[in-house]
Structure 1
Amino acid sequence: MRSLSWKYFLILFLCCCCSYVHAARFALLTDLHVSPGTPNDAALGRVVDEINRGGYDFAVVSGDISNQGTDAELETVKKRLSGLRLPYYLVPGNHETNWSESAGLTINRLWGGDRFLFRSGKWLFVGFNTGPYMKMGDGHVKAEDILWMEKVLQSELKEGERPVFIAHYPANEWLSNGGAVIALMKKYRAAAMFFGHGHALRAYNLDGIPGVMGRALYMPKDRSFGYTVVEMNGDRFEIYEKKLGEPLSKVVYAFGAGETFGDLPPPPPPAPPGGRLPDGWSEKLILSADASIFTGLAFRGTVLYYGTSTGELRAYDWKKQKTLWTLDLGGTVHSTPLYGCGVVIAGSIGNEIAGVDADTGNVLWKLPARAPVINDGLIHDGFLYMGLGKGEFCKIDVKTGRKIWSWTGVQGIFQAQPAVAGGRVVFGAWDRHLYCLNESDGSLLWSWNNGHPQKLYSPGNCVPVISCGKVFLVAPDRFMTALDLRTGRQLWRSGQFSVRESQCGSVDGKRVYGKTMNGLIIAVDADAPEYRSLWNVDAKFGYEHNPCPLLEHDGIVFAGSRQGILAAVDAGTRRLLWTYKCGNSSINKIAAGPGGGIWVTLIEGKIYRFFRDGK
């Protein structure tokens, strides 16, 4: 009898030990939005102190740790989080990846990368970046990160373990390839996904996978600072809210591995790619790359040049369907390649601009830059006009890479392509200003800003339109503005339509086209002394913020959406001719190219050609 009692207690003890091994408690921090010296900065310090006293096993930080993604903000957060006396794991959010002055490199430097993998008991935690990447758009997981997750889950997941996914965006309609993430979670029997972005503690049904959005550091509704607490015991997850300085809340959500929030609707499935083009029009998918694409295209005969998220500049013969050469530029390519005088030019986040032999891919010259070069340039009359990442704008000899002149009066990073006309070079930067330089010597003629102190309203990613002696721009402040090209004097500003970053001029110079945030394509009289709206057409995009520039070609205005839709509007009849869904991610750029018609690239790695039959 005594022997049986000892065996009973031994079994009970071992069961308790096993239960303890699989129990864990972690703090979920998200949407910190810290700038140095702000209340959120101080509150984060208090949160760190509280977590150190709270008996947690680790902490997870799921993005939007900063406001503008500046190095100063990231350094401040790093210093605060370094006070944690327990392991913590971090992925960036859209405020780090959209406006980063380092093209995301500071995240890698401070935290060793933008994804993570670790174990806690029977759980394998997988953290990954959801973008968007250096421009407005929906979230998106890069192709190489999807492949990485597949690889590590296949190789690292042990019998009896289940993965837990961590990201900034949930795998729903906010993530353009959320379906691919859900497919991975289902394939490897994910227990849950934790994320941020929505600033509220909320449950989601991710097509059968339980999802939990953590609360933001500061919640204005009740003016509280705090974070989310997750307790894992056996197969059960319990979610709590922890307001700073207050006791832990009652259980807000609870679920077991394999369960879901079945009373909540799953994310709506994305509309399938495709569409019906009118008679006389055709489309062709030229390429579906093995990496994401954030650039537009350069052309030379039947050869396309583009950059990839894996850091390659590629030359592809679209007639032969063959890659001719690739060149490693050392990191994600955001700068759209240019072609001129036998040279292909592209910026690199390795702080340089490279001139490459168009035939061989051999580097002909390199020009050092002050910062990662994510911006586009312009070749005009045999010269390259381009910002060197940040602070310096140059006129450059295309063949040799020699600076003809440089101007160093810029405080922010460059992004959009400049415009050159009438002896003027006009460009914006993420320092609130639009600049106009003398084309011949690079001297400053004038600068302009909208009067708002917020840098996120800068004309940094808007290609200026020069026409009828005026400069037109549509910045994130949602106004269209006209300036005198000679003096920089503001002629008018209109907020009739909520335009944002996306515009172009007509071929004849008489009109300026813009895209609004509710999917309208508008036309404005470029010659009128006052703002004069000519027409507007609904492109059927709905809510829209993709900065892809518009293009007028053969009398048709083309516009690309954040959801991969290309729209064609007849500029003469003012009718929407057709729309075509190329994919589920943002269209990067639209360009007139070889073989007639137009070409588009998508973040998901697709390149399309649209053309009239017979061309």
Structure 2
Amino acid sequence: MKKVFLSVLFCLIINSLRGENFRFALLTDLHVSGDSLAYNDLRKSVEQINKTKDIDFVIVSGDVTEEGDRASLKRVKSLLDLLKMKYYITSGNHETKWSESGATDFGHIFGSDRFKFEYNGILFLGFNSGPVIRMADGHVSPQDISWMKKELATFGKDKPVILVTHYPLQEGDVDNWYDVTDAVRQYNIRAFLGGHYHRNLLFNYDGIPGIICRSNLRGKEKVGGYSVFEVTPDSLLVYEQKIGNEPEKWASYSLRKSYYNSDDSGYKRPDYSINKEYDKVKELWIVKTAAGIYSSPVIYNKNVYVGDDLGFLSCYSLSSGKKMWEFKSGNRIVGTPAASNGVVVFGSADKKIYGVNAKTGKLCWEYTAKEAVLGAVTIDNGIAYIGASDHTFRAIDVKTGKLRWEYTDVKGYIETRPLIYEGKVIFGAWDNNLYALDKESGRELWKWNGNLTRMHFSPAAVWPVAANGKVFITDPQRAMTAIDANSGKTIWRTFQSTVRETIGLSADKMRLYSKTMQDSVVCFSTEGNVPKQIWATDVKFGYEHAPSMLVEKDGVVFGSTKSGVVFALEAFSGKLLWKHKVGNSLISTVVPLSATECVFTSTSGEVGILKQSSYKR
């Protein structure tokens, strides 16, 4: 009897150490919108999961909507709330790139875009992998990396961990993948789980197993589906579960085998060799903040003003980079501020427009909108012009914060910097339209649509420019367009250079500049009624789709890329002068100080100045 008791006790101890088998479902890439097909695919998945025995919990790994809008997020939640077991959810790029709330609605509706829980001795961590508002590669923010490191350190090095992101953690998908893998490789990471590619794939992220799962959408099949994971004391087994069918195992990983070690020296890292090739360019100073930065810097009275992802507007000395003060808003700052009359004006995702004293950082005034304020600011003659996500564009007195006028017939949300030209204020929105309003009254003068067929083709991220009676834009349909400034009629539209959302104007207003989506910068004439290319330069920056504008100063054109590169070209010839790689993440529109200096910000949280030590024209 004693032997039987000891045998049973031994088995109980072993089982408690090893943990019992458990199963969970993973849903990803739901892409719910007004379209009933995606909604029905999710509904059927929820119904089948509820009928399946032994599903202990559900993980949802992003792209739960098509356009990141509040209505679609609520529709998804209404279905997920029907699950009989707990679910844990994080966001995807469709919730962060296209988001009327500045990617804040997701957290408000689901509680957070991070999750943390422990099940049968395994820690699960899920977090956003971007990008936020700006079109770029995926990106894990500095604050999310800090959170993840803290949670892992608390859990311990030997216990098993499963990490969940939307994007694959590899080059070409997430620009700072190596920051994540380096941060976690000293821990017992068993796998990264995710989606994004809409099909079942196995990767390794610097040696760490990566499991990418099918979309919930039916695609070309008659039914949709999801993934089921079975965790045993020895293995992680992965099944594809099509609606109405039996699950099919397609992958497995050992939970005992070591797939990687703490040494990262054998894995690819960003290449900074161009900095040796153009060694006359130096970093005068760089401040590494603790938050992502999605707006461009503003220079005013020998200071640099920067808004960040934690909601801070910070003031730095232009000469040294020393922080002078900071002002905290209630949520992330996405739009680029503007400064005039001793006041810095900016919008926040907390639904407010702020006027802050440029010297002291003290609040001068605030104006409350109905939704997030993501638009960049333009100030002209003491009036700040800014758009918000409440379908409203406003003109506000810079000194008092009083509303001068508002236009309430915008159909989409606004993130662009408005253009002031010939008595008009001109801006795009995420509704396919470019608007022209009377600058003094806010009365609508015209709207341009260009027969764009999808919201994602909107001229909404580009900062419009104008010359010779024409307004010039580029849009995600990969076209450059000239529009009559008086009538809103299309003068010409060309797809020849496959540009996207970047445009710049020369100081003499005779030339347009734009990045193509592969390696080159092109220059077009602003004159005439047909597109005329003047030059094209192969800058060799690779595939490029970031909405950072090109800016000319003293005969030099400055530009930047999604992969951390700032470059300079001669304005008249297009000759490449230099390139410098600051990091591996998006550099927003830079601010030139002279022909040899520029101020930059990056999504990885850097603010700094680059200077070319020798330049002769």
**Same fold, judged at TM 0.5 (above):** yes
Counterpart position of 2:490? 490
Q: Quick one: which amino acid aligns to residue 208 of structure 1?
A: G
SS of the aligned residue for 1:587 comes to coil
- How far the C-alpha of 1:333 sits from its partner, in A, is 1.1
CA contact (8 A) 1:206 1:267 kept: no
CA distance in 2, matches of 1:133, 1:278: 31
CA contact (8 A) 1:302 1:594 kept: no
Q: Say if 2:31 is the partner of 1:49.
A: no
CA distance in 2, matches of 1:229, 1:40: 20
Distance 1:14 1:607, change over 3 A: closer
Counterpart position of 1:233? 232
CA distance in 2, matches of 1:509, 1:206: 47
CA distance in 1, matches of 2:500, 2:127: 29
Counterpart position of 2:364? 364
**Structure 1: 5+ residue stretches without partners:** none
Counterpart position of 1:519? 519
Counterpart position of 2:400? 400
Aligned residues: 609
Deviation digits for residues 550-582 of structure 1, max 9, x if unmatched?
111222222211101112122223222221111
Counterpart position of 1:95? 94
Equivalent positions of 1:108-127 (< 5 A) are 108-127=107-126
SS of the aligned residue for 1:374 comes to coil
SS of the aligned residue for 2:109 comes to helix
- How far the C-alpha of 1:276 sits from its partner, in A, is 3.5
Distance 1:533 1:186, change over 3 A: same
- How far the C-alpha of 1:458 sits from its partner, in A, is 0.8
Deviation digits for residues 34-80 of structure 1, max 9, x if unmatched?
12452121111111111112220101000000101011111110011
- How far the C-alpha of 1:592 sits from its partner, in A, is 2.2
- How far the C-alpha of 1:259 sits from its partner, in A, is 3.7
SS of the aligned residue for 1:190 comes to strand
CA distance in 1, matches of 2:280, 2:33: 55
RMSD: 2.1
CA contact (8 A) 1:32 1:217 kept: yes
- How far the C-alpha of 1:158 sits from its partner, in A, is 4.8
CA contact (8 A) 1:297 1:336 kept: yes
CA contact (8 A) 1:353 1:366 kept: yes
CA distance in 2, matches of 1:285, 1:245: 60
CA contact (8 A) 1:205 1:267 kept: no
Equivalent positions of 1:118-157 (< 5 A) are 118-155=117-154, 157=155
SS of the aligned residue for 2:502 comes to strand
Counterpart position of 1:425? 425
- How far the C-alpha of 1:453 sits from its partner, in A, is 3.1
Counterpart position of 2:444? 444
**Structure 2: 5+ residue stretches without partners:** none
- How far the C-alpha of 1:456 sits from its partner, in A, is 1.1
Q: TM-score by structure 1 length?
A: 0.95
- How far the C-alpha of 1:273 sits from its partner, in A, is 7.7
Equivalent positions of 1:283-302 (< 5 A) are 283-302=283-302
Q: TM-score by structure 2 length?
A: 0.94
Q: Quick one: which amino acid aligns to residue 11 of structure 1?
A: F
Deviation digits for residues 346-380 of structure 1, max 9, x if unmatched?
11111111001111111111111121111101112
CA contact (8 A) 1:420 1:426 kept: yes
SS of the aligned residue for 2:132 comes to coil
CA distance in 2, matches of 1:243, 1:108: 30
In terms of mean alpha carbon deviation, does 489-498 or 160-169 score higher?
160-169
Q: Say if 2:319 is the partner of 1:309.
A: no
Distance 1:154 1:532, change over 3 A: same
CA distance in 1, matches of 2:297, 2:492: 34
In terms of mean alpha carbon deviation, does 422-431 or 221-230 score higher?
221-230
Counterpart position of 2:206? 207
- How far the C-alpha of 1:82 sits from its partner, in A, is 0.5
CA contact (8 A) 2:285 2:320 kept: no
CA distance in 2, matches of 1:144, 1:172: 19
SS of the aligned residue for 2:501 comes to strand
CA contact (8 A) 1:521 1:538 kept: yes
CA contact (8 A) 1:22 1:122 kept: no
- How far the C-alpha of 1:324 sits from its partner, in A, is 1.4
CA distance in 2, matches of 1:277, 1:380: 41
Distance 1:279 1:147, change over 3 A: closer
Deviation digits for residues 171-206 of structure 1, max 9, x if unmatched?
211111111110122122211111111111111111
Runs ≥4 residues deviating over 6 A: none
CA contact (8 A) 2:552 2:558 kept: yes
- How far the C-alpha of 1:509 sits from its partner, in A, is 0.6
Identity %: 34
Distance 1:238 1:515, change over 3 A: same
